[in-house]
Structure 1
Amino acid sequence: MFVSSQVDPFNHLKIILNSDGTITRLRQDPHTHPAPDPTLPIPVLTQDATINQSNRTFARIFLPRSALHNSSTNLPLIVYFHGGGFILFSAASDFFHDACVSLANDTNSIVVSVDYRLAPEHRLPAAYDDAVEALHWIKSRPHDWLTNHADYSNCYLMGSSAGANIAYHAALRVAAGTNSDGINYLEPLKIRGLILSQPFFGGTERVPSEVRLAEDPVLAPHVCDVLWKLSLPVGVDREHEYCNPRGGDGAVVLERVRELAWRVVVSGSYEDPLVDHQIRLARLMEEKGVAVVTSFNPTGSHGAEVRHPLHQKRLHHLLKHFIASSSSSLLP
């Protein structure tokens, strides 16, 4: 049985549920404008590009300034999906923008942050569809910064919280469409690994970390209940594969991930109510033979790897070495 709480989840999320099934978002969500001018004294340049005008999806590209002065070596490419429980925020939200600036700078990578459609106006799998469409966009209509400076053979899918869920499901779709020789419909774009930061998964039964942290001030389990209710397809429960990675065919597709030799990082914090779900996800992948690197810190709430500088730097340090070790396998 789910643990109750006196905190109203709608007030906590600062949303109002409308009679037509949409929500009104009340929270202040400051946006940061892109800064593409190379004359600006900033370490990372940023620029937006439209992915699908009808769906109002776009990509924010983060280019380390150093790439402009080094034409001999292209940089790893990280395709990033922001968090927000599938219902909030944007690639332009100030704290996600700042996190991607730090990510690009700390790992010396080009970051493409994807702005996808939000639930409940666009329930899952809309965000997964947008994620895969973004990969097609990178492949077929590349931005000049990507064409000139990105190493398409060294790509990583990354997300935070719900964004990690999106990265995971987008990766499963790509893996399922890749043949035995490792050739897929995204060529020349080649995925080398997944980076899942505090991934957002769940199930119908509370796990011990949810019971232990039932009154968590950041992301209490009863708040997650509302997020899943607003984002999952109407009529399905939380054993659905979008929420529980052991549901559906996802666990079978993970065997394809193993065959493709994609490496995975799963990171999180023991003060996050979702940590047991995250550990179970890592164990599932390990059961399927996927090479998994785990990093779970003793402290840090949900979202700490985006908002808290110390946790963010610790994660980026891990990713710098993860990408370097993955890239070394590309050398002759």
Structure 2
Amino acid sequence: MFTFNSDGTMTRNHSLYPNTAATPDPNDDTIALSKDVPVNQSNNTWVRIFLPRQALDSSTDTKFPLVVYTHGGGLLLLSAATKIYHDLCSEIASRVPAIIVSVDYRLAPEHRLPAAYDDAVEVLQWVKTTQEHWLRQYADFSSCFIMGDSGGGNIAYHAALQAAAQVDDLLPLKIKGLILLKPFFGGVKRTESELRLANQPILPPPQTDFTWQLALPIGADRDHEYSNPIVGGGSKFLDQFRLLGWKVMVTGGSEDTLFDRQVELAKLMEQKGVNVVSYFDDSPHDMIGDPVKLEALYVNIKKFISS
């Protein structure tokens, strides 16, 4: 999937997870339209915006919830153009329905954390000021959600912490909640699920350790707040979620090595008085490989956003 080079860069094999082009033409047979828009050309960051076909119905002037999405890939891999994420965002856009702004953020190790967090927050700032037609015409800026899966769930969480500290600066964008799909967190001490699933082919502990080694600031261990929100010090900012009335959805699977960390984070937020909705099942980390569970995920996301 990748080769780590001696100069601190990575050579990525894109054949396993190929990219796909955006689909902006309303005459194409797609469940959602999409287009790519640059955000910061200096950092080569951009977004892929997904527009549900319902927005093209000329008989309604309905505004749709706005979701800022950060893709998975362990902070090291993949893109907003990766086909599995293009398809996932298209489905969410169509089924909720919602406008999805999928963030193509900078990857580690070339750009270690907090670069990806900064990119996600910059997209929130970009959304509030952009004159991009699909957003101005169809998005409900008073109903914004930050969402991410796996490594993107980690980014979404930390971007939300930053956003919670600058809500007035984000107006007229109003964030209503946070959706963390099997978020990627770590820690020095092994959890029960990491020990129990040590031989799990998807994200075994040595692989997650190596990922954090490449993604964290040089010299930081896995109890850094970017990796471990339980002991790393980042939890002190969670009170702001409660004060703002944000709600948080967390998903996890008991066959995921990261399961205990996802449960711990949900419990921590509940202890802070945050309104948390948890969906835990018996799945592994891969959330895209099971069509039945994926179908349930779409239903749960729609219920959460519309509640």
TM range (shorter): over 0.9
Identity of aligned residues (%): 52
For the pair 1:67 / 2:55, whether they are aligned, the reply is: yes
CA distance in 1, matches of 2:42, 2:165: 27
Cα distance change on mapping 1:216 and 1:27 into 2, 3 Å: farther
For the pair 1:44 / 2:32, whether they are aligned, the reply is: yes
CA distance in 2, matches of 1:225, 1:27: 23
Please give the per-residue CA displacement for 1:248-298, whole angstroms capped at 9, x wherever unaligned.
Answer: 542121001100000000001111010000000001101110000000112
RMSD (Å) for aligned C-alpha atoms? 1.1
Structure 2 unaligned blocks of 5 or more: none
Give the superposition deviation at 1:27: 4.6
Q: Which residue of 1 aligns with 2:199?
A: 215
Q: Which residue of 2 aligns with 1:205?
A: 189
Structure 1 unaligned blocks of 5 or more: 1-13, 179-183, 326-332
Q: Which residue of 1 aligns with 2:9?
A: 22
Classify the secondary structure of the residue corresponding to 2:169: coil
Please give the per-residue CA displacement for 1:289-332, whole angstroms capped at 9, x wherever unaligned.
Answer: 0000000112x22122x34322221111011111111xxxxxxx
For the pair 1:157 / 2:140, whether they are aligned, the reply is: no
Report how many aligned residue pairs link the two structures.
305
Please give the per-residue CA displacement for 1:50-70, whole angstroms capped at 9, x wherever unaligned.
Answer: 011111111001101111115
Cα distance change on mapping 1:247 and 1:173 into 2, 3 Å: farther
CA distance in 1, matches of 2:118, 2:231: 19
For the pair 1:98 / 2:80, whether they are aligned, the reply is: no
Q: Which residue of 1 aligns with 2:68?
A: 79
8 Å Cα contact 1:80/1:112 also seen in 2 = yes
CA distance in 2, matches of 1:113, 1:193: 16
Map residues 247-326 of structure 1 onto 2, 5 A cutoff: 247-298=231-282, 300-304=283-287, 306-325=288-307
8 Å Cα contact 1:214/1:273 also seen in 2 = yes
CA distance in 1, matches of 2:209, 2:75: 13
1:125 aligned to 106, 114, 124, which one?
Answer: 114
CA distance in 2, matches of 1:155, 1:228: 29
Q: Which residue of 1 aligns with 2:22?
A: 34
Give the superposition deviation at 1:26: 2.7
Query: What code does the residue aligned with 1:199 have?
Result: P
Please give the per-residue CA displacement for 1:50-91, whole angstroms capped at 9, x wherever unaligned.
Answer: 011111111001101111115421000111000001000000
Classify the secondary structure of the residue corresponding to 1:118: coil
TM-score, scaled to structure 1: 0.90
Give the superposition deviation at 1:25: 1.4
Classify the secondary structure of the residue corresponding to 1:131: helix
2:44 aligned to 51, 56, 63, which one?
Answer: 56
Query: What code does the residue aligned with 1:167 have?
Result: A
8 Å Cα contact 1:99/1:307 also seen in 2 = no
CA distance in 2, matches of 1:170, 1:308: 28
CA distance in 2, matches of 1:241, 1:76: 30
8 Å Cα contact 2:242/2:272 also seen in 1 = yes
- Structure 1, 312-321 or 83-92: larger mean CA deviation: 312-321
Give the superposition deviation at 1:143: 1.5
Cα distance change on mapping 1:256 and 1:63 into 2, 3 Å: same
Classify the secondary structure of the residue corresponding to 2:22: coil
CA distance in 2, matches of 1:198, 1:41: 31
CA distance in 1, matches of 2:238, 2:294: 28
Map residues 107-186 of structure 1 onto 2, 5 A cutoff: 107-178=96-167, 184-186=168-170
Please give the per-residue CA displacement for 1:186-244, whole angstroms capped at 9, x wherever unaligned.
Answer: 10001000000000001001100000000111111111011100000000111110001
Classify the secondary structure of the residue corresponding to 2:124: helix
CA distance in 2, matches of 1:15, 1:47: 28
Cα distance change on mapping 1:98 and 1:139 into 2, 3 Å: same
TM-score, scaled to structure 2: 0.97
CA distance in 2, matches of 1:308, 1:188: 38
